Structure 1
Amino acid sequence: MRLPLSFFIGLRYHRAKNSNGFISFISASSTLGIVLGVAVLIIGLSVMNGFERELRDRFLAIVSHGELEAVNPPLSDHEQLLSSATNNSQVLGAAPYISFSALVQKGKIMKALALKGIDPELEKNVTNLHQYVGDDAWHALAENQAQLVLGAGIADLLGVSVGEQVTLLLPKANQQNRLSSPQRIRVKVVGLMNAGGQLDNQLAFINLAYAQKLMQWQEGVSGISLRVVDPLKADKVVRSVAKTYPQLVYIKSWIRQHGYLYQDIQLVRTIMYAIMLLIVAVASFNIVSTLILAVSEKRGDIAILKTMGASDASLLRSFVVYGSYNGVLGCAWGAVLGIAGSFGLPKLVGLIESLMGHTLLSADIYFIDFLPVKLIWTDVLAVVGAALLLSMLATIWPAWQATRVKPAQELG
């Protein structure tokens, strides 16, 4: 394919060896800056996308989108509330639960946890908890027995395995004196919840009917949990369901309790995008220095081209091509390194963790204990497009300076 004259001149200038080594150094540094900026931005956005995916698919698979909990438990006529909730077009499912603040004990080791009594069949309408528990444990939890599904992190702390027994310390049912001794219940651990994160160190589950027996509530419950169509609108949907119920209830949603996780991810994504684009902008504006020096060095060539009939527009395009070459090259290599880094980063982090002997993301602090990555191609295109635009804009002013060269002054 025959290139236009301006492209040929621009590429020819770039391939030619510069007599000034300083120009070559600035040119290489601008290309390297764009490569690093684009690569790091792609990898960073991929990690943020991974955290957002895990928040939606893993964290919200265990935590219900919303809850309506009785102010003065038990909840009266919860079947009416369940029916009202399921009739709402924005609600995908609802399930009753009983919540406890409890201590679990094995030997001399004790751990505080959030204990929840659930109906395994109805719970499937609200969460995907069964996927992180296992079929055998899930079927065992359906029995009205003193059986417990324990978070894997709690089990590790206590040194408990499936089949062993632990002691639950619960507040006594209908107790008036809060200083009275708790009731001690021996339960069998029938399964472990292994979601790979913070929730493994906080949650445990028992059968709903057995929980009602402990609380002496017959058929009463603490509240109902909901799954909604759009998790980001959970607060509004839960509030609309609560308005149809006569008893006073607490309105809870994952946004109120854990919404900071989503907000932090979005904030870090925005800050990272801004910082990395500024780095790319700095690298792109190094092209300005390169072109200014190149124009100064090639003033004689420009004068000769003008005397041969080259138009100002043609010269402008030639030096835009000359300067943009670094941007295109930097964006191409940056995209390649960014994509490769996104796919290889989890393995690299795993290798570092194995060498260090501990995890970089502690399950005690973060909602997951591994580094997730999700590469979205539209992000790659947006980053590369923004970097290319900045690098091309940086060439316009120095290229325009080339059109102001006066042949009579240079060749006189």
Structure 2
Amino acid sequence: MSLPLSTLIGLRYHRARHRNGFISFISASSTIGILLGVAVLIIGLSVMNGFERELQQRFLAIISHGELEAVEQPLADGAGLLEIATSQQGVEAAAPYISLSGLLQKGKQMKAIAVKGIDPDAERQISRLPEFVSSEAWQALEPTQANIIIGAGIADELGLAAGDTATLLLPQQSTGQRLSSPQRVAVRVVGLMRAAGQLDNQLGFVHIDQARQLNQWESGVSGISLRVSNPLQADELVRTIGMHSEQLVYVRSWMRTHGFLYQDIQLVRTIMYAIMLLIVAVASFNIVSTLILAVTEKRSDIAILKTMGAEDGLLIRAFVVYGAYNGVLGCLLGVVLGLLGVWSLPSLVAGVEQLLGRTILSADIYFIDFLPVELLWSDVALVALAALSLSLLATLWPAWQATRIRPAQELGG
């Protein structure tokens, strides 16, 4: 199958040796610039996709999408509020909980811990917490025994393992002007939660009946937790349900407490896309420079083609092919390099961490302690399309300049 004449001329001009070596240098620079821009953008977007996936499948799988907690605890009509919540459109499930804050002590070491009293059966409906805990530990949460599941980060800091005993220190309400000594409770660690992130250093779980005994309540709960079908609408749904509560409640959603994580991911994604496209745009300007110099160098050849009957459209298409060659080549190589980078990035980061002897993402700071990646082919297609579009746009003006050459002026002397 023969190629169109304009394509043959454009490819021949591109392969031809230039009298001016500067043209070849600028041409190679444009290809490398587009290559790097496309590759880095694919890798960066894949990392942001990975963070968003882990936020949804790991972080939001453990914390509640929304909570309604009594201002004056305990919540008197928890069952009624549960019924109102589950009847609300958009709410998938609801479960009661009791919140406790204290210190976990092992020997001389202490660690702050947020303990949540849960109903193991109801908790399965609102979170995927059991997936991050062994089945034996989950079944060991009993209403009559002081058993606790703690985050792996807390266990590592205190030197605890499953089966060990620790002391849970809980604050007590002061009487008069005297400070009350904390309540000390011996608890047995029945298992560890391994979410590979910040939550491992914060949370602990006990049975809701055991938490009720620790609070010295005969009945009642601190509040209810919600799971909604669309986490981005959690704030609105929680406020709507809170309006139906007869008791004054605090209204919280993950968007208020941890929404900055999602906003940061989206912001970084947008900034990265803008910066990388600007890099590709700068590389495309090199295509403009290459074509302008090439048109200047080929003025006599263009004049001869026009005397042989070449139309302006043919000349424009020929130089578009000439200039777009760099964009297409850089885009293809950038996609290949980007895919290789995405697939090798986790092992590369792991090797760097092993070499340095430290983790790049600390679980004390970030919600995960590893670098996630998720490749979306739609992102690859979008990046490639954007790079090709900028490359093609960069060829139009220089190609049009080739049609303004007058054969009589070029060949007359």
Shorter-chain TM-score bucket reads over 0.9
Check the 8 A contact 2:150/2:189 in 1, yes or no.
yes
**Equivalent residue for 1:134?**
134
SS in 1 for 2:125: coil
SS in 2 for 1:124: helix
Question: 1:286, 1:19 → 2: CA distance?
Answer: 18
* 1:115 maps to 2:115: yes
Question: 2:387, 2:175 → 1: CA distance?
Answer: 66
Aligned residue pair count? 412
Instruction: Specify whether residues 199 and 136 from structure 1 end up closer, same or farther in structure 2 by C-alpha distance, changes over 3 A only.
Output: same
Which amino acid in the other structure matches residue 274 of structure 1? A
Instruction: Specify whether residues 263 and 239 from structure 1 end up closer, same or farther in structure 2 by C-alpha distance, changes over 3 A only.
Output: same
**Equivalent residue for 1:309?**
309
Question: 2:331, 2:122 → 1: CA distance?
Answer: 51
SS in 2 for 1:245: coil
**Equivalent residue for 1:214?**
214
Question: 1:176, 1:377 → 2: CA distance?
Answer: 65
**Equivalent residue for 1:271?**
271
SS in 1 for 2:102: strand
**Equivalent residue for 1:225?**
225
* 1:190 maps to 2:208: no
Question: 2:25, 2:274 → 1: CA distance?
Answer: 27
Question: 1:42, 1:307 → 2: CA distance?
Answer: 47
**Equivalent residue for 1:247?**
247
**Equivalent residue for 2:51?**
51
**Equivalent residue for 1:234?**
234
Moved more, 109-118 or 168-177: 168-177
**Equivalent residue for 1:84?**
84
**Equivalent residue for 2:322?**
322
Per the TM alignment, residue 83 of structure 1 is displaced from its structure 2 partner at its CA by 1.0
Question: 1:250, 1:207 → 2: CA distance?
Answer: 23
Check the 8 A contact 1:173/1:214 in 2, yes or no.
no
* 1:289 maps to 2:289: yes
SS in 2 for 1:348: helix
SS in 2 for 1:116: strand
Check the 8 A contact 2:174/2:180 in 1, yes or no.
no
Question: 1:178, 1:233 → 2: CA distance?
Answer: 45
Check the 8 A contact 2:38/2:384 in 1, yes or no.
yes
C-alpha RMSD over aligned residues = 1.1
Per the TM alignment, residue 174 of structure 1 is displaced from its structure 2 partner at its CA by 8.6
Per the TM alignment, residue 10 of structure 1 is displaced from its structure 2 partner at its CA by 0.4
Aligned identity (percent) is 67
Residues 281-322 of structure 1, C-alpha deviations (whole Å, 9 max, x = no match):
000110011001100111110000000000011101100110
**Equivalent residue for 1:403?**
403
Question: 2:408, 2:44 → 1: CA distance?
Answer: 53
Question: 2:260, 2:329 → 1: CA distance?
Answer: 39
Moved more, 328-337 or 212-221: 212-221
Check the 8 A contact 2:319/2:395 in 1, yes or no.
yes
**Equivalent residue for 1:30?**
30
Unaligned runs of 5+ in 1: none
Question: 2:176, 2:345 → 1: CA distance?
Answer: 55
**Equivalent residue for 1:381?**
381
* 1:333 maps to 2:333: yes
Per the TM alignment, residue 16 of structure 1 is displaced from its structure 2 partner at its CA by 1.4
Question: 1:382, 1:352 → 2: CA distance?
Answer: 31
SS in 1 for 2:166: strand
TM-score (structure 1 length as normaliser): 0.98
